[in-house]
Amino acid sequence: MAFTKCYSISNGQWQWQWNAYDWDNLLKSTTMGLASGFAAGGAGGFLGGIYSGGGLAFLDKKGSLAMAANVSLFYAGKLDNFANTIGSIAGEAVHYAWGGNFRISLGGGVGIGFTTNGQIVNDTSGGIGLVNLVDAMGSLNYVGFQAANVNGGDKGLSRISYVNMGYLSGDMQNMKTAMDVINDKKRIEFNLEGEGNYGYAGEDNRTIHLNREAILADDDAELRAKLAHYTATVMHEGLHLDQHAWLAANGLEADDITLERMAYEQSTKTLALLNLRFGLNVGGSKYEDVAMAGAYFALTGDSDTLDMSGRSLKVKVDGKTTNVTIEDWTNTAKGRSNCIEGMAKALGVTPDKVLEALKRTGHYKGMSDEQIAKSLKVGETLVVRDGRVMTEEEAKGIDFGGLFNGMKSLLNKSLEWMTGLFRGKSTDLDSKLVSTLLSDVVGKPYYKGGGQMEYYPGSDGYPPKQLVNPDGSWAYFDCVGGVMYSIRKVSGLDIPPMGVNVLYSQSWLISVDEKDIREGVLGFYDYTKKGYNEGYWDHVFTIQGKDSNGQWLIITSSSSATQGGPEFVHGKTVSNRPLGGYNRHHEKKYGAIIKYKYIDWSKLSNMYTNN
């Protein structure tokens, strides 16, 4: 005898059994559970899921390896629901085969069942959730993409990572490109070769071609940088595909420079977002110079370091491809026709545009179109600029200043972000900040309010004191005064006085981990031991650079450097203090909490006016 609870297939209900086991129901219920679990686990495993915390987890395998942390697929929930729904369908199939209803739960305590004799009845005993079923059917695009790639080795896993990281960047255009790949409107192929030949947008306006080196290997020493670089490249080329599809659909044309500046803005923004969200960047890798050149080109239109095609992302080898030069031709009817048409095709324009430009050279005065075709000069060069075909001389006089006025602010921001992407690499303004501290602040005696106000009224034991010399230079500096003086001088901005705690909360200071500090980063201490107000930032110093042993040094005001004399001083500003020892001393003596922030100079300049 036993006291058991079994599910009755025949009446669709759970019931208690006080007598001997109802082996028939037990067998059928167990079979349902096994079928459901086996199907769910099988589907999940086939889609790359792993069991974690009692459920299925779907990870970006290459992204997780690159960042040494679990990175979930943005569509993981879709895959999980699909796998579980497959399990539920399998369970219901067994339920139906044993004579029960095929049940669908509509939610809210409402359900229907399909009986073995074809009837539809009310059945609230369980089954497949309709919401889950509909979602699973709507997730087939994600399932298809995942199934086609997750078991496809490094190539397939790389494709998944580029799509996932592009979507997780949060940029709307990148999200569109990622979804287009998932929906098979775009595809990623690894078929380019040659150093610097990173990416190309195919003429089919569907295929993103990448260099074979973009196939991510687990043991690649540059895995992080490569993931960042080629994610940005995919988004760069994805925008090109959209550009050309839109132009073709609307019967319009655009020059390569315009198209490329827009695409490089996209890849620059992508790199900035990946660094901001995940700390994923190309710093110190062979892709660093390419990223900086692309950001500079997006901002200025100067493409001297890049090869432009309006479709490709490639380091310059033999010069620009936005011009065409007559090097040789055959003076026959076919040669003349092919030459004019060939120039037009190379420039992406119609033959009449080429003829109009040739007439403006002054080399073919009074000639008809046919006569010009017979008299082409070797060395004749035409260029497409700002949507126009023009002579080389005309192109040299083109002003690009107004071309991108509408997005100059964003491009400036992108370039500013780019300069902060690389670990240990400072911007020019960061370097100037350190130089100013070394030349103007280091060695000056410490006095409260120094660098903040010309006259200190006195408090906290400090008597009133004039803090500037007769010539207007500062005679004293405290910790925050020296920093604020230097920021004002480097930026040329009228920034109001602020103490350490107020400085720490400024929106133009961006938090950074200690592993990512660089020259010009500010360090802050919050002293927590008795006598100090925890949660109130008490001290600020500046990262100076590294010594010959690779150890970080700082510039800071120091009470251990107290000077003699009748003046009330608390020490002076010093340089070359080892960061590690300085931190350990303040942690032990004051219970210091340590945080680091770098200056977003672009954001700072948008908040204050010039002096």
pLDDT (average), residues 448-476: 82
User: In 348-478, which ranges are continuous DSSP H helix?
Assistant: 351-359, 369-374, 392-396, 408-419, 428-436
* pLDDT tens for each residue of 327-384: 444 444 444 445 677 677 766 677 888 888 888 777 777 778 877 776 766 566 777 6
User: Using CA atoms, how far apart are residues 575 and 556, in angstroms rounded to an integer?
Assistant: 7
- Decide if pLDDT at 431 tops 80: yes
pLDDT score at 35: 39
Average pLDDT of every residue of the chain: 74
Amino acid in position 364:
Y
- Could you tell me the pLDDT band of residue 62, with boundaries at 50, 70 and 90? very high
pLDDT score at 29: 47
Amino acid in position 469:
N
- Could you tell me the pLDDT band of residue 196, with boundaries at 50, 70 and 90? confident
Range scoring the smallest mean pLDDT among 115-129, 294-308, 529-543: 115-129
Distance of CA 590 to the CA centre of its chain: 38
Range scoring the smallest mean pLDDT among 19-23, 55-59, 479-483, 489-493: 19-23
| Helix, strand, or coil (residue 586) | helix
Torsion, CA 378, CA 379, CA 380, CA 381, rounded to 10 = 150
Range scoring the smallest mean pLDDT among 20-29, 271-280, 343-352, 470-479: 20-29
- Could you tell me the pLDDT band of residue 491, with boundaries at 50, 70 and 90? confident
- Could you tell me the pLDDT band of residue 78, with boundaries at 50, 70 and 90? confident
pLDDT score at 564: 43
- Could you tell me the pLDDT band of residue 49, with boundaries at 50, 70 and 90? low
- Could you tell me the pLDDT band of residue 243, with boundaries at 50, 70 and 90? confident
pLDDT score at 316: 39
This prediction has a pTM of 0.47
- Could you tell me the pLDDT band of residue 603, with boundaries at 50, 70 and 90? confident
pLDDT score at 338: 52
Residue with tokens 């095709």: 345
- 576 in Cβ contact with 553 (< 8 Å): yes
**What are the backbone angles phi and psi of residue 456, rounded to the nearest 5°?**
-95, 125
Better-predicted residue by pLDDT, 306 or 207: 207
Better-predicted residue by pLDDT, 553 or 389: 553
Q: Which positions ≥6 away from 515 have C-beta within 8 Å?
A: 423
User: Using CA atoms, how far apart are residues 182 and 173, in angstroms rounded to an integer?
Assistant: 14
- 106 in Cβ contact with 131 (< 8 Å): no
Range scoring the smallest mean pLDDT among 61-65, 107-111, 186-190, 281-285: 107-111
pLDDT score at 77: 80
pLDDT score at 417: 43
Number of H helices, E strands in the chain: 20, 24
Q: Could you say which DSSP state residue 98 is in?
A: T
| Helix, strand, or coil (residue 120) | strand
Distance of CA 369 to the CA centre of its chain: 51
Range scoring the smallest mean pLDDT among 44-53, 227-236, 274-283, 601-610: 44-53
Instruction: For 554-571, give the DSSP string.
Output: EEEEEGGG---SSS----
**Distances from the Cα of 199 to the Cα of 239, 256, 516, angstroms:** 12, 16, 29
pLDDT (average), residues 506-525: 91
pLDDT score at 311: 58
- Could you tell me the pLDDT band of residue 110, with boundaries at 50, 70 and 90? low
pLDDT score at 249: 82
- Decide if pLDDT at 490 tops 60: yes
- Could you tell me the pLDDT band of residue 47, with boundaries at 50, 70 and 90? low
Out of 187-191, 406-410, 562-566, the most confident range is 187-191
Out of 21-35, 258-272, 325-339, 455-469, the most confident range is 258-272
User: Using CA atoms, how far apart are residues 428 and 432, in angstroms rounded to an integer?
Assistant: 6
The proportion of the chain whose per-residue pLDDT surpasses 70, expressed as a percent, equals 64
- Could you tell me the pLDDT band of residue 111, with boundaries at 50, 70 and 90? low
User: Using CA atoms, how far apart are residues 546 and 578, in angstroms rounded to an integer?
Assistant: 9
pLDDT score at 61: 92
Range scoring the smallest mean pLDDT among 42-56, 176-190, 517-531: 42-56
- Could you tell me the pLDDT band of residue 230, with boundaries at 50, 70 and 90? very high
* pLDDT tens for each residue of 151-171: 888 999 999 999 999 999 988
Better-predicted residue by pLDDT, 601 or 118: 601
Q: Could you say which DSSP state residue 187 is in?
A: E
Q: Which positions ≥6 away from 330 have C-beta within 8 Å?
A: none
Q: Which strands make up the sheet holding 128-129, listed edge to edge?
A: 120-122, 110-114, 102-107, 128-129
Q: Which positions ≥6 away from 494 have C-beta within 8 Å?
A: 488, 608, 609, 610, 611
- Could you tell me the pLDDT band of residue 4, with boundaries at 50, 70 and 90? very low
pLDDT score at 386: 54
Range scoring the smallest mean pLDDT among 81-95, 381-395, 588-602: 81-95
Q: Are strands 323-325 and 381-385 parallel, antiparallel or unpaired?
A: antiparallel
Range scoring the smallest mean pLDDT among 86-90, 239-243, 387-391, 572-576: 86-90
pLDDT (average), residues 104-125: 56
pLDDT score at 314: 46
- 295 in Cβ contact with 410 (< 8 Å): no
Q: Could you say which DSSP state residue 212 is in?
A: G
Length of the chain: 611
Better-predicted residue by pLDDT, 95 or 357: 357
| Helix, strand, or coil (residue 423) | coil
Evaluate the CA torsion angle 341, 343, 349, 355 in order and state its sign: negative
Structure tokens at 214: 């973009």
- Decide if pLDDT at 108 tops 90: no
User: In 400-549, which ranges are continuous DSSP H helix?
Assistant: 408-419, 428-436, 479-491, 500-504
User: Using CA atoms, how far apart are residues 37 and 34, in angstroms rounded to an integer?
Assistant: 5
- 169 in Cβ contact with 160 (< 8 Å): no
* pLDDT tens for each residue of 528-583: 987 788 888 999 999 999 888 889 999 998 875 444 444 455 688 999 999 999 99
- 127 in Cβ contact with 102 (< 8 Å): yes
Phi-psi domain of 205 (left: phi exceeds 0; alpha: psi -120 through 50; beta: other): left
pLDDT score at 330: 44
- 255 in Cβ contact with 386 (< 8 Å): yes
pLDDT score at 30: 45
- 111 in Cβ contact with 103 (< 8 Å): yes
- 16 in Cβ contact with 4 (< 8 Å): yes
Q: Are strands 102-107 and 128-129 parallel, antiparallel or unpaired?
A: parallel
Structure tokens at 282: 């190309």
* Contacts for 358-362: CB closer than 8 Å, 24+ residues apart: 358/382, 360/390, 360/391, 360/394, 361/391, 361/393
pLDDT (average), residues 476-492: 91
pLDDT (average), residues 463-483: 87
